[in-house]
């Protein structure tokens, strides 16, 4: 493994971070559509048919956003796989380069980058699965039912869960962020 492979993996990590940003954007869009749904449900109380028509577009958009998140997660796994496939262990020096953290031992190694990607994709996928479950159980099934009745409290709770990222382990993500911040500050000093 040479220095060029290390740089390529760092670029792949940047691509991975871009995917996380895109997923965050899609999550925010989902939350906005949930707010729209919540407003429609609380203001349109007289006609189930009118409500059904109003909710059709935001429900479709949420489904579309969730489908796009799933595609982004698949791309995240692809970036991880591509990064791992670049690594070879032909010599002891390759293992040392894989774990090399600089002279001061404060930089981010190639191994760290791959570990960070694995941590992020795991929590991102867990968060996605929770949101998909919320959407299907709390919204989509209620929309498809004959009664077509929505529980506004349940919708508000769904919005909170969408926003909170409850399945994200903040300690792990803080560790990742602090390591990357240290690495970036060292790069700026050089």
pLDDT digits (tens, 9 = 90+) for 78-117: 999 998 888 766 554 566 666 666 666 666 777 888 888 9
- Domain containing 91 equals 3-189
| pLDDT score, position 39 | 85
Least confident of 24-28, 37-41, 92-96, 147-151: 92-96
CA quadruple 158, 161, 167, 168: dihedral, nearest 10: 140
Q: How many domains does the chain have?
A: 1
The token pair at 175 is: 């560790």
With CA atoms as reference, report the closest residue to 75 among 124, 115, 113, 108. 124
d(CA 111, CA 129): 27
Containing 107, the helix (H) or strand (E) segment is none
What integer best gives the mean pLDDT of the chain?
78
With CA atoms as reference, report the closest residue to 116 among 28, 189, 175, 55. 175
More confident residue, 34 or 3: 34
Nearest-Å Rg of the Cα atoms of the chain is: 22
Task: Say which CATH number the domain at 111 has.
Answer: 1.20.58
Given a contact cutoff of 8 angstroms between Cβ atoms, the answer to whether 115 and 173 are in contact is: no
Say which DSSP state 136 is in.
I
Q: Taking 90 as the threshold, does the pLDDT of residue 49 lie above it?
A: no
Q: Taking 70 as the threshold, does the pLDDT of residue 128 lie above it?
A: yes
With CA atoms as reference, report the closest residue to 13 among 125, 111, 128, 126. 111
Tell me the range of 48-57, 95-104, 105-114, 133-142 where mean pLDDT is highest: 48-57
More confident residue, 100 or 131: 131
Given a contact cutoff of 8 angstroms between Cβ atoms, the answer to whether 139 and 59 are in contact is: yes
| pLDDT score, position 64 | 95
d(CA 120, CA 122): 5
């Amino acid at each position: 493994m040479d220095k060029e492979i290390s740089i390529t993996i760092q670029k792949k990590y940047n691509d991975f971070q871009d995917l996380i940003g895109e997923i965050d954007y899609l999550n925010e869009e989902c939350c906005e559509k949930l707010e729209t749904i919540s407003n429609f449900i609380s203001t349109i109380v007289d006609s189930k048919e009118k409500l059904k028509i109003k909710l059709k577009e935001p429900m479709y958009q949420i489904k579309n956003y969730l489908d796009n998140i799933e595609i982004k997660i698949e791309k995240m796994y692809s970036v991880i796989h591509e990064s791992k496939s670049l690594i070879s262990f032909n010599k002891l020096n390759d293992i040392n380069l894989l774990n090399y953290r600089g002279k001061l031992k404060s930089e981010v190694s190639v191994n760290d980058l791959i570990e960070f990607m694995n941590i992020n994709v795991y929590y991102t996928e867990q968060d996605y699965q929770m949101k998909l479950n919320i959407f299907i159980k709390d919204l989509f099934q209620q929309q498809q039912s004959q009664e077509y009745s929505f529980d506004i409290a349940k919708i508000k709770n769904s919005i909170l869960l969408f926003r909170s990222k409850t399945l994200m382990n903040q300690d792990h993500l803080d560790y990742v962020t602090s390591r990357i911040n240290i690495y970036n500050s060292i790069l700026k000093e050089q």
